[in-house]
Structure formats: C-alpha cells, structure tokens
C-alpha cells in the first residue's frame, strides 16, 4: 500500500518525555513511516507528496496569520551541514512571508553576554498569528557552551531546567512549540563539507571554523543526546528526523508541521455580516 500521507506516523520520530536518547541507535539514512509504491523512485514519490504537503502547510499558515490567535515556534537544531537552511528553504517555500519569520542565533554579542542567556531568545518568540523558525536556538547554551567548556558544568546543567520551564511558560501562554533535530552521520557531514570546497557556487558556505566541532563529533553527540532526553516534554516535544536523505528530511518535517497545525483546529475569521450586500463602487 502506498504512502498517502495520512499513514505517516510522526510519533515514530518523537522523543517521548522521560526517555533516554541514544543517537547511535538511530540510522540517519533510515526513512521511518515511508511506504513507497512500486514502480517509481523514492525521490519522485516524495517530491509529489511534498508538493501536496506544501499546499496544505501554506493554507494552514494562512489561517494562522488571518486568525491571529495562535503562535507557533519551530526550533531547528543540527550539527554543521545538517540541513537547517535547506529545510527552511524547501519546507517553507510557499508560505506567506508576512506571517513567517526566521531568527538565527550566532555567537552572542557583548550586550547579549551582559544579560541572561535567554534574554535574546525571548525577544524573538512569535507574536499572535506568527510562525517563527529558530535556526539554532537557546539550545546552543547546553551544546557548544558545554562542549567548548565555556561555562562550568554545574551552570550549564541548570539550564535544562531553565529551558524546560521557559518553554512551559511559552506553551501556557499560547505558543505551540515544535523542536526538530536533523540527525546526520559523520560521513554525510564530511561529504557535504567537501562539496562546499569542490563546488564554486558553494565555496561561500565553507568556514574553516566548522572543522572545530567536527573534531569534537562524539562530544557533540553526547551533548545532543542529553539535551534531547532532558527537554522533550509534552508541551514542547523533540522530533529526531533522520536527515542523510534530504528528500526524506523535507517530507518528515512537512508531515510534522502539517499535523501539528491541523491539531490547532484553526479557521478563517468570520466575514462581516453585511458583506453579502456590499458592492464595490466603480
């Protein structure tokens, strides 16, 4: 039986609250819940399904913006070259830019360092009607900060509780939170980084600094495992998306977002009662 979308079980990608994540047990090239029909390639069928999901996501985001009641926050995390930018380009290509915003979090500035680490994050959370995508996020403060030993362990460990409580507050105040970890292999990362060197139109994407976290791959994997385990909650669940295959990554992310937005039971605001009698003057 073919994959008609309704059978895609996003629960297979969800990190259940209280569970312990072991990334080595999850194949980054796997395609959970994908059931292709015989006779066509995976990529061909996935492209057709993704087109359907894009139409649906566009309609749902339009309702979100028009209704202006709900708020949606999408958190994207991955190793370097994990596909965050590509996911944003491909999955959100049809949405209304008026109601969608991408917030990227780079190295903190001096004013940001002079305040608590969540200060810059809170300024970027969605307002009513908005869908905001975090390209990296507050999780950098339990990832790079941990691996590069930028603060003492007792300090970054407290941040799991801070983050969970911060996200609970956002959820309690009406924000729907979807957290996506794009899971790639070390070999796949090497191929993608090498492509940035080999292809002239990708040279600009290469930064020698990306080789620093690569050298600490195992440390980062452990940091991600603990962050995913400690902060996947009912109100702000993590989804681990196997992301070696870009076509599957885009499909899975789209399925997760569409199903999440459909769960909000949104509708367009009612029209003015006297609209039927209105005539636009010549």
Q: What is the predicted pLDDT for the residue at 2? A: 37
Average pLDDT estimate for 84-103: 93
| Host domain of residue 230 | 10-267
Phi, psi dihedrals of residue 275, rounded to the nearest 5°: -65, -30
Our count of domains for the chain comes to 1
- pLDDT category, 4, cuts 50, 70, 90? very low
Higher pLDDT, 96 or 118: 118
Report the CATH number that the domain containing residue 126 is assigned in CATH: 3.40.50.300
Q: What is the predicted pLDDT for the residue at 6? A: 55
- Residue 82 burial (CB < 10 Å; 0-12/13-18/19+)? buried
pLDDT value at 260 more than 50: yes
Average pLDDT estimate for 1-19: 79
- Residue 4 burial (CB < 10 Å; 0-12/13-18/19+)? exposed
pLDDT in tens, 178-206: 999 999 999 999 999 999 898 877 788 77
Average pLDDT estimate for 57-80: 97
pLDDT value at 32 more than 60: yes
**Is residue 225 one of the residues assigned to a domain?**
yes
pTM of the model: 0.93
Average pLDDT estimate for 212-238: 96
């Amino acid at each position: 039986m073919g994959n008609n979308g309704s059978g895609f079980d996003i629960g297979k990608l969800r990190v259940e609250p209280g569970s312990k994540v072991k990334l080595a047990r999850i194949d980054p090239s796997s395609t959970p819940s994908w059931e292709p029909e015989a006779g066509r390639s995976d990529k061909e069928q996935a492209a057709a399904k993704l087109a359907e999901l894009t139409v649906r996501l566009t309609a749902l985001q339009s309702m979100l913006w028009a209704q202006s009641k709900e708020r949606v926050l999408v958190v994207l995390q991955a190793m370097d070259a994990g596909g965050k930018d590509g996911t944003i380009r491909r999955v959100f290509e049809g949405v209304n830019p008026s109601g969608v915003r991408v917030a990227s979090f780079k190295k903190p500035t001096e004013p940001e360092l002079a305040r608590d680490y969540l200060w810059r994050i809170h300024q970027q959370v969605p307002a009513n009607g908005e869908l905001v995508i975090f390209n990296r996020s507050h999780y950098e403060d339990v990832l790079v900060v941990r691996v590069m030993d930028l603060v003492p362990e007792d300090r970054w460990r407290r941040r799991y509780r801070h983050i969970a409580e911060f996200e609970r507050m956002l959820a309690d105040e009406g924000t729907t939170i979807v957290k996506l970890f794009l899971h790639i292999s070390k070999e796949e990362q090497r191929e993608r980084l090498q492509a940035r060197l080999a292809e002239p139109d990708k040279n600009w994407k290469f930064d020698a600094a990306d080789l620093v976290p690569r050298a600490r791959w195992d440390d980062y994997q452990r940091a991600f495992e603990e962050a995913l385990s400690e902060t996947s909650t009912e109100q702000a669940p993590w989804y681990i998306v196997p992301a070696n295959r870009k076509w599957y990554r885009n499909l899975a992310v789209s399925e997760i977002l569409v199903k999440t937005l459909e769960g909000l039971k949104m509708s367009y605001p009612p029209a003015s009662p006297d609209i039927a009698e209105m005539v636009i003057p010549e």
